[in-house]
Structure 1
Amino acid sequence: MEAFKRVFLIVIDSFGIGAMDDAAAYGDEGANTFLHIDERMDPFRIPNLMRLGLGELAQPAHACRNAPLTGYRCALKERSVGKDTTTGHWEMMGLRTEKPFVTFTNTGFPQALIDELERRTGHEVIGNKAASGTEILTELAGQELASGSRKMIVYTSADSVLQICGHEKSMGLDELYRVCQIARDITMKPEWKVGRVIARPYLGDAESGFERTPNRKDLSVDPPRKTVLDLLKDNGKAVVAIGKIHDIFNGRGITRSVHSNSSVEGMEQTIAMADEPWEGLVFTNLVDFDAKWGHRRNPIGYGRELETFDGKLGELMDAMQETDLLIVTADHGNDPTHTGTDHTREKTPLLLWAPRFQSTGTLKTQSSFGTVGMTILANFDIERKPYMIGDSVLEALR
């Protein structure tokens, strides 16, 4: 088949389709983000995902297919150790993470780290524990405001993250971003090396309540080796990062970055790219599924977000050209009916579609998320690096 000139890669952040074989080791036995949302959504209207074959990978009770199947689909297994955003995205782009990032879920951050953070930022740390983003604001935002943001909220989760909350009017975004950069510098020490430092700005007051804003900023570590994004860029291809993709790869291999305030806006930005002249990859992450609904254990909210996404997905498909390829996948699970508030160790869907496809089929389960990146490299006839994982499925597409 003639090569595709443009690839649209969309990550439905946290949309798992069933527990991995090793899920019990992560405390995630029985997790299934898709099916457990489907159980609670009646009716569940996601016609475009269903005609792309999502229902062939799991058997939903309420999501129905009312049009012929189109495109190709399969399930992906993760080979990296972990179940977080960074390892999932890096594996898609060819890198296997064998040593998980350090976490501080059970203990909070070491006092030596906190002492250095306070000394270098000039703020007193409150919190320093694992918590959900909404709960920590309910508990401590009033203290931060009462202190004139002399105090700042630091917390973590089951992921390898250090998160700092700051009120946009009291602390200000510039100051929040400054202290987060200091935290990133501090946590480059091997014993403290978290995958991401995340700025979590918020607004509100004790009377009306507190709410996080879209001005989140992630400070990641560099991928340890070149990824598919680097190879695309090195070969003169566009790599357009929409949403938090730029943050996940710390800007490596990116030729253009577009900030999104929501998953809906991220899809609208992706659709807009269909009208622009470029050759290469548009890589979109839709974070609301994870941040707003998965972690907050809200299956109905997650389901409604999927229905909204499905409509935008149809708009993108209508806007695509004959030489375009669409890839829809996910980076991990986050079953909103599971215990706790953590990601879940799950397989993810791989849905592939192009206007010129003349056949359809369900492919065998792939052993790595790296199938995504290797398929993209094969399409552009770019040689993969020996250390990259995953197998291309390009030859199966007709």
Structure 2
Amino acid sequence: MGIERVLLIILDSVGIGALPDADEFGNEGASTLPHIAKAIGGINLPNLESLGLGNITEIEGVTKVDKPTGAFGRMAEASNGKDTTIGHWEIAGIISEEAFPTYPNGFPPEIIDLFEEKIGRGVLGNRPESGTVIIEELGKEHIKTGKPIVYTSADSVFQIAAHEEVIPVEELYEMCKVAREILTGEHAVGRVIARPFVGELGDFERTDRREDFSLEPPAKTILDYISESDKSVMAVGKIEDIFSHQGITDSIHSGNNQEAIQDIQKFLNKGDEGLIFANLVDFDQEYGHRNDPEGYAKALERFDSNLPKIIESLTDDILMITADHGCDPTYEGTDHTREYVPLLVYGSLIEDGVDLGTRKSFADLGATIVDLLEVNEIKDGTSFKNEILK
């Protein structure tokens, strides 16, 4: 039996517990969602709870239910990494054995010197730092000199921050394209990210005009297989950036969670067959990296309160909810954490209360999606289609 449409929602960074190899990534004991719930004395997620979230792991305020209204489980990351690109690629069927390069001491002269030469000006920063911290520290000098702020993190990113009145956003995007052309081979970072901001000294604010310039996937993904079968691949949020626009037939670049939820609704109402693939970025960008468990919890509760509207718009569609990595806001540092991610599956054709256990890779999800849509098999991942359908 083929399914006409799958809605896949990525709750960016909502991990649920450290992977066995988390210590190798410096993340032993990390546990994003359980730690957030504990930090605020219990989290209220009744709709996710009914789908079986509390049956996956212990989360304060989220109970284990006798018969969830969907299938539930968790997924381990098989790839060598813990960043957005690698996580999404694995969901889409590509397991990355090689980690993307990272720069704990900043980028080497051969990168920075060439970048400065090509953009015709010097740069500020060039070190690992929180984005909000570095623009406060270097914003005054940036405004005075017109030099962009370059920084990285524990993840494989080359980030360029600029005040929109100093370097117009389109010019900032062009700088990112220059960096993307330079960062290849041994320096092929996962993403170059434009980080525009506005405001006055002491009151800077990053805008929603962020843009990611990712590496192209090294092989076909489920997005390619679906679109090549004359079905639609509808991207919401930064999905189009993560996959470098490959295999996507329609996209809306939502700036935040609430916009993304509205854009999901637009695609659901459109009625096209295929895959709606959405990333809700606020959990990671606004709260995880900023060590804000309270804000993170409120954002999760807002998503949960919107879930019934999404479910009401489903016909015989399959809804899948997961994450791409962790970003424990209670953990030391401000970077992603190596964690299991939740797996929730819902739909009128889905058996209630199916325990999917621990999947060996995120690619199991991609394998299941193409199996449900009857478009192709992928090399990596094991489909659980037959376990969940009535």
- Scaled by the length of structure 1, the TM-score of the pair is 0.95
CA pair 66-81 structure 1, distance change in 2 beyond 3 A: closer
* Structure 1: unaligned runs, 5 residues or longer: none
- The corresponding residue for 2:384 is 393
User: How big is the shift at 1:66?
Assistant: 8.0
CA pair 382-309 structure 1, distance change in 2 beyond 3 A: same
- The corresponding residue for 2:214 is 220
- Cα shift readout 1:61-113 (whole Å, capped 9, x = no counterpart): 223468962000111011000100011000001111011111112x1101121
Distance 1:301 1:123 in 2: 38
- The corresponding residue for 2:88 is 89
Alignment of 1:51-66 (within 5 A): 51-64=50-63
Counterpart amino acid of 1:393? Answer: F
Superposition RMSD in Å = 1.3
- Cα shift readout 1:232-253 (whole Å, capped 9, x = no counterpart): 0111110001000000000111
- Match for residue 352 of structure 1 among 345, 355, 359: 345
Distance 1:213 1:319 in 2: 31
- The corresponding residue for 1:335 is 328
- The corresponding residue for 1:365 is 358
* Structure 2: unaligned runs, 5 residues or longer: none
Give SS of 1:269's match: helix
| Residue pair 1:20, 1:345 contacting (<8 A) in 2 also | yes
- The corresponding residue for 2:138 is 140
Alignment of 1:46-195 (within 5 A): 46-64=45-63, 69-105=68-104, 107-147=105-145, 149=146, 151-188=147-184, 190-195=185-190
User: How big is the shift at 1:355?
Assistant: 2.6
- 2:2 maps to 1:3: yes
Distance 1:28 1:101 in 2: 18
- Cα shift readout 1:153-193 (whole Å, capped 9, x = no counterpart): 000000111000011122111110111111111112x1221
| Residue pair 1:86, 1:195 contacting (<8 A) in 2 also | yes
User: How big is the shift at 1:44?
Assistant: 1.9
| Equivalenced residues, count | 389
Counterpart amino acid of 1:396? Answer: E
- Scaled by the length of structure 2, the TM-score of the pair is 0.97
| Residue pair 2:43, 2:60 contacting (<8 A) in 1 also | no
Alignment of 1:313-324 (within 5 A): 313-321=307-315, 323-324=316-317
| Residue pair 2:53, 2:342 contacting (<8 A) in 1 also | yes
Give SS of 1:364's match: strand
- The corresponding residue for 1:309 is 303
Identical-residue share of aligned pairs (%): 43
- The corresponding residue for 1:204 is 199
Counterpart amino acid of 1:185? Answer: E
Distance 1:25 1:137 in 2: 31
User: How big is the shift at 1:383?
Assistant: 2.6
Counterpart amino acid of 2:381? Answer: G
Counterpart amino acid of 2:159? Answer: Q
Distance 2:61 2:49 in 1: 11
User: How big is the shift at 1:379?
Assistant: 0.8
Counterpart amino acid of 1:91? Answer: E
| Residue pair 2:234, 2:267 contacting (<8 A) in 1 also | no
- Cα shift readout 1:133-157 (whole Å, capped 9, x = no counterpart): 111011001111122x2x1100000
User: How big is the shift at 1:359?
Assistant: 2.9
| Residue pair 1:142, 1:205 contacting (<8 A) in 2 also | no
Counterpart amino acid of 2:116? Answer: E
Counterpart amino acid of 1:395? Answer: N
- The corresponding residue for 1:258 is 252
Runs of 4+ in structure 1 over 3 Å off: 64-68
Counterpart amino acid of 1:206? Answer: L
Counterpart amino acid of 2:299? Answer: E
| Residue pair 1:45, 1:64 contacting (<8 A) in 2 also | no
Distance 1:396 1:285 in 2: 26
- The corresponding residue for 1:275 is 269
Distance 2:64 2:262 in 1: 25
Distance 2:320 2:291 in 1: 27
CA pair 43-32 structure 1, distance change in 2 beyond 3 A: closer
